[in-house]
Amino acid sequence: MFSKILIANRGEVAVRIIRACKEMGIQTVAVYSEPDANTLHVALADERVCIGPAAATESYLNQQNIISAALATGAQAIHPGYGFLSENAGFAARCQRHGIVFIGPDSAVMDKMGDKNNARLLMKQIGVPTVPGSEVLQPGQDVAALAAEIGYPLLVKASAGGGGKGIRLVETPDQLEKSIRAASEEAKKAFDNGDVFLEKYLTGVRHVEMQVLADNSGRILCLGERDCSLQLNKQKAIEETPCPVITDTLRRQMEQAAVKVAQAAGYTSAGTVEFLLDRDGHFYFIEMNTRLQVEHPITEEISGVDIVKWQIRIACGVPLPFDQQDIHLTGHSIECRICAKSRGTVDFLHVPGGSRVHFDTALVQDSEILPYYDAMIGKLIVYAPTREDAIRKMEAALCELVIHGVQTNIEEQIAVMRDRRFQQGDYDTCFLQTLNR
């Protein structure tokens, strides 16, 4: 096993990974930007290296400084968390060239699956359904005709997109050109790649994703699904597992499709295959996330499998010691993402407790919410035997959670738990947008 790992991230996910390392007896190295010097992940790690100023491009995305920090501290592996460099195949390859293990899939696999257009092409080859759409748009192409053929409404999507960035909804032909330009420019800025394609916009669908875990010997397991339909601006806000409307038969089919995708990609480590599910039980591949997912803890709750520890073990060459038949998913788990809606200093913090209630966060008393990074400041996670119990438990936990000094979305999350349609499981990806909030 590794004796020392560098965590190339900040916030709750860095804390999550450091905790896993501690439990495994692995030494940890935190990296941090100047304004993050007094944050929790830095305090919890065994060693710490400042990698630059506030701007992510100069610190958490600064590949050179991160690799130097790993070499200087003798870290054998780097865990990238999610966001930042986690889906950067170039960074994974660079780690390898320096003899450092990148905790994630092989860089060539990341390259292949990280590009939405490439991934769609692979799905077509292996017979996994995708949303009807085009390939990457080429200069001089008759996009109006292409769009008319696909039909409106449609989405312009950046091939390199992630985190809801580089997506535009086009409802009528007159918006097409402008949306293509806007999506492409946004993607060029965020991902240094302006490639876009068109995809039919499906309505009344749910976002249902499958968690896979694959080792280096070819064993691929699926740890069930997560329903992530509760989104605002194409970003997930609340996730639950199991999906309240899925049947066992459909789950098996989606599991098989996800495993097929992982197999075809030559995938190793933890990954997520995202699908849209319509009311008739048809599902369509939208993308694969070749990394740890924000909402992984709800899967851990119902499966009892520690996904982060398995990412580390697999990166070290340890084979999975269990089979699909050994995976037993029980009970129900919900996650609410807690986001800051303002800057400020957390001058009072109370975190709810109780059986199978936990708050994954890097917040402590007097934490400062900085404008440079993601607005998500914590994830409240509950587990209960049934969905009804889990919703009640989440409502109680949200009511108990107190974060003073910054504005948060706690009240909005409580409103969802109290909403009748949510309680009935009757929601799709547009539900939160239309809920009065």
Binders of Mg ion among 253-292, rule CB under 5 A? 274
Least spacing, CB of residue 1 vs ligand ADP, in Å:
26
- Helix/strand/coil (H, E, C) string of the chain? CCCEEEECCCHHHHHHHHHHHHHCCCEEEEEEEHHHCCCHHHHHCCEEEEEECCCHHHCCCCHHHHHHHHHHHCCCEEECCCCCCCCCHHHHHHHHHCCCEECCCCHHHHHHHHCHHHHHHHHHHHCCCECCECCCCCCCCCHHHHHHHHCCCEEEEECCCCCCCCEEEECCHHHHHHHHHHHHHHHHHHHCCCCEEEEECCCCCEEEEEEEEECCCCCEEEEEEEEEEEEECCEEEEEEECCCCCCHHHHHHHHHHHHHHHHHHCCCEEEEEEEEECCCCCEEEEEEECCCCCCHHHHHHHHCCCHHHHHHHHHCCCCCCCCHHHCCCCCEEEEEEEEECCCEECCEEECCCCCCEEEEECCCCCCEECCCCCCEEEEEEEEECCHHHHHHHHHHHHHHCEEECCCECHHHHHHHHHCHHHHCCCCCCCHHHHCCC
Total count of residues recorded for the chain: 437
| Residue 308 backbone phi and psi in degrees, to 5 | -65, -45
Pick from 63, 53, 116: nearest CA to 86: 63
Please, which residues bridge with residue 214 across strands? 220, 269
Q: Does 236 bind ligand ADP (CB under 6 A)?
A: yes
Part of the chain binding ligand ADP (CB under 6 A), chosen from 14-22, 28-36, 160-168, 385-393: 160-168
The only residue of 6, 109, 155, 398 in contact with ligand ADP, by rule CB under 6 A: 155
Q: How far is the CB of 164 from ligand ADP (least distance, A)?
A: 4
| 201 interface partner picked from ligand ADP, Mg ion, none, CB below 5 to 8 A per type | ligand ADP
- The reply to whether 159 sits near ligand ADP by the rule CB under 6 A is no
Residue numbers 190-209 binding ligand ADP by CB under 6 A: 191, 199-202, 205, 207
Stretch that binds ligand ADP, among 69-77, 216-224, 286-294, 339-347 (CB under 6 A): 286-294
Nearer to ligand ADP, 286 or 312 (CB): 286
Q: Which of 2, 82, 267, 383 binds ligand ADP (CB under 6 A)?
A: 82
Is residue 374 within the footprint of ligand ADP (CB under 6 A)? yes
- Distances 302 to 38, 60, 114 between C-alpha atoms, Å: 34, 32, 27
**Segment near ligand ADP (CB under 6 A); pick from 37-45, 172-180, 228-236, 364-372:** 228-236
Give the residue with the Cβ less far from Mg ion, 12 or 274. 274
Nearer to ligand ADP, 110 or 382 (CB): 110
Tell me the site size for ligand ADP, rule CB under 6 A.
30
79 within 8 A of 311, measured Cβ to Cβ? yes
Looking at the Cβ atoms of 227 and 274, the one nearer to Mg ion is: 274
Tell me the closest approach of the beta carbon of residue 401 to Mg ion, in angstroms.
27
**Smaller CB separation from ligand ADP, 311 or 429:** 429
Widest Cα–Cα separation across the chain: 61
Q: Helix 107-114 crosses helix 116-126 at what angle (to 10 degrees)?
A: 90
The residue number with the shortest CB distance to ligand ADP is 162
Question: Cβ closer to ligand ADP: 122 or 155?
Answer: 155
Our finding on whether 359 is near ligand ADP (CB under 6 A) is no
163 touches ligand ADP (CB under 6 A): yes
Tokens of 323: 């089979």
**Shortest Cβ 94–ligand ADP spacing (Å):** 16
Q: Verify whether residue 356 is a known catalytic residue.
A: no
Identify the active-site residue in 291, 313, 337, 387. Answer: 291
Partner from ligand ADP, Mg ion, none contacting 374, C-beta within 5 to 8 A by type: ligand ADP
The identity of residue 362, as a single letter, is A
Of Mg ion, ligand ADP, none, which one does residue 163 interact with (CB within 5 to 8 Å by kind)?
ligand ADP
Q: Does 335 bind ligand ADP (CB under 6 A)?
A: no
Q: Which is nearer to ligand ADP, 22 or 244 (CB)?
A: 244
Among 76, 269, 289, 299, binds ligand ADP (CB under 6 A): 289
234 lines the binding site for ligand ADP (CB under 6 A): yes
Residue numbers of the site for ligand ADP (CB under 6 A)? 82-83, 87, 131, 155, 161-164, 191, 199-202, 205, 207, 231, 234-236, 274, 276, 286-287, 289, 293-295, 374, 429
Residue numbers of the site for Mg ion (CB under 5 A)? 274
- Catalytic residue list: 291
